[in-house]
Amino acid sequence: MSTPTRRRRTRTKEAAGPDARGTELELEVGPIAHGGHCVARHDGRVIFVRHALPGERVVARVTEGAEGAKFWRADAIRVLVADPARVEPACPVAGPGLCGGCDFQHATPARQRGLKASVIAEQFRRLADLDVTVEVQEVPGDADGLHWRTRTQFAVDAQGRTGLRGHRSHDVVPVSDCPISTPEVTASGVLGTRFGNVETVEVAAGSDGSAPLVVVTPEPGKHAHLPKLPDASVAVRTAEGLHRVSGRTWVGERITVREQDFAFRVGGAGFWQVHPAAPAVLGEAVLAALEPRPGEHALDLYSGVGLFTALLARAVGDDGTVLAVEGEERAVRDARKSLHEHRQVELWAGSVEESLVDDELTGRRTDVVVLDPPRAGAGRVAVAGIAALKPRAIAYVACDPAALARDTKFFAEQGYVLDGLQAFDLFPQTHHVECVARFVPTH
């Protein structure tokens, strides 16, 4: 008897109906949604609208969707009734069909923070079954939401021009300036110049006053042709690693937290918080959430180059310990250089999930835990592993409120409840927001 073959159901363009792109609709704009757009409805269909604000009446042009689809995406191309907090964008390419980097340049910074607070609350209601009230705090280090981004990745178009990609697009919008980037980034020389055989150009400006670092990624199998960049260090990233062209292949970062100075080395435009105030602001929030004591044993998960590791090491002192776990070996190498004086620190390079079930870790005493996972969050397995260590307090640093809310529910399942939540506007003009949550055991 032969086994029947299951026919795969495929969604064809014909089944979805005619392409609706370019259709213009007059819409009453509804609430903000996670992702930088608002929700509107037209003839029973949900429309996700960018470049609009809740309560506005706009004419929107459909950018994605077909007649049979449940929802469409659209850009507000004309505002009929404006929100009082609407402003003219500071960047000439922050508009429909142009750069996709900024979501909220058409709103005042205060209005942006209010929108982000609404998104956080909605995600916690939907994913964690919790009602939370949180204020998104303004932080120092930017100019009304501009000139804060110390790390920017630019794409390169077919003509060799640097720019930024459109929203949900591979198209490159050439730019001669980026108003949310710091002057050090824009003065690196990469804007307005031409590159050959290059996919991306990353610029990182450290806080130690040295020249910014430009990291170039060539097109696969090709040799990059670089312009002269006398005001920057330059390196080329290939599959084999980072190759120095001029200057150094890392940037230096310095911060002060609780009147103590810390210095870090970040190699190859590796991960570091992009807002200049972020490391100190988040560091203070983590210390306030954990209240680490001398002699305690701390665990830093997704530890990067060791920002929170260093703060915890100072707090627990020589009689305490800090174990830091990071999956990227390059970051661990940088952490070793930055933390070599802290004898109470141990660095592991490897998977967080695997480390949490390692006998060497599970057999230790763990008093406090900080985790700063990538945008996808920690997930059920990591949350269960953390809870099994029975720390007295957990500080969770999150760049995605949906992932944080989901993991909050996972922590509740493991006997840990949300005991505090702070939010910081570390990505002005965009829909992104940084949160620090404190979890404690229920008993």
What's phi and psi for 66, nearest 5 deg? -130, 165
d(CA 182, CA 151): 8
Q: Alpha-carbon distance 80 to 55, whole Å?
A: 11
Q: State whether residue 182 is helix, strand or coil.
A: coil
* Alpha-carbon distances of 228 from 199, 211, 327, 428, rounded to whole Å: 18, 14, 35, 32
pTM score, whole prediction: 0.94
All structural domains of the chain with their residue ranges: 13-84, 151-251, 252-441
With vertex at residue 290, the alpha carbon angle to CA 285 and CA 296, rounded to the nearest 5 degrees, is 140
Beta bridge partners of 97: none
State residue 9's pLDDT score.
40
Active-site residue identified among 99, 102, 178, 399: 399
Instruction: Please indicate whether residue 399 is annotated as part of the active site.
Output: yes
CATH 3.20.20.140 is held by the domain 252-441: no
pLDDT of residue 443: 82
The Cα–Cα gap between 398 and 199 comes to 29
Strands (E), 104-150: 136-137
432 to each of 98, 180, 420, how far by Cα in Å?
Answer: 19, 14, 20
Look-up: residue for tokens 């830091």?
324
- pLDDT truncated to tens, each residue of the chain (443 aa)? 333 333 344 344 445 789 999 999 999 999 999 999 999 999 999 999 999 999 999 999 999 999 999 999 999 999 999 999 999 999 999 999 999 999 999 999 999 999 999 999 999 999 999 999 999 999 999 999 999 999 999 999 999 999 999 999 999 999 999 999 999 999 999 999 999 999 999 999 999 999 999 999 999 999 999 999 999 999 999 988 899 999 999 999 999 999 999 999 999 878 999 999 999 999 999 999 999 999 999 999 999 999 999 999 999 999 999 999 999 999 999 999 999 999 999 999 999 999 999 999 999 999 999 999 999 999 999 999 999 999 999 999 999 999 999 999 999 999 999 999 999 999 999 999 999 999 999 98
Q: Please provide the CATH number assigned to the domain covering 13-84.
A: 2.40.50.140
The predicted structure's pLDDT at residue 270: 84
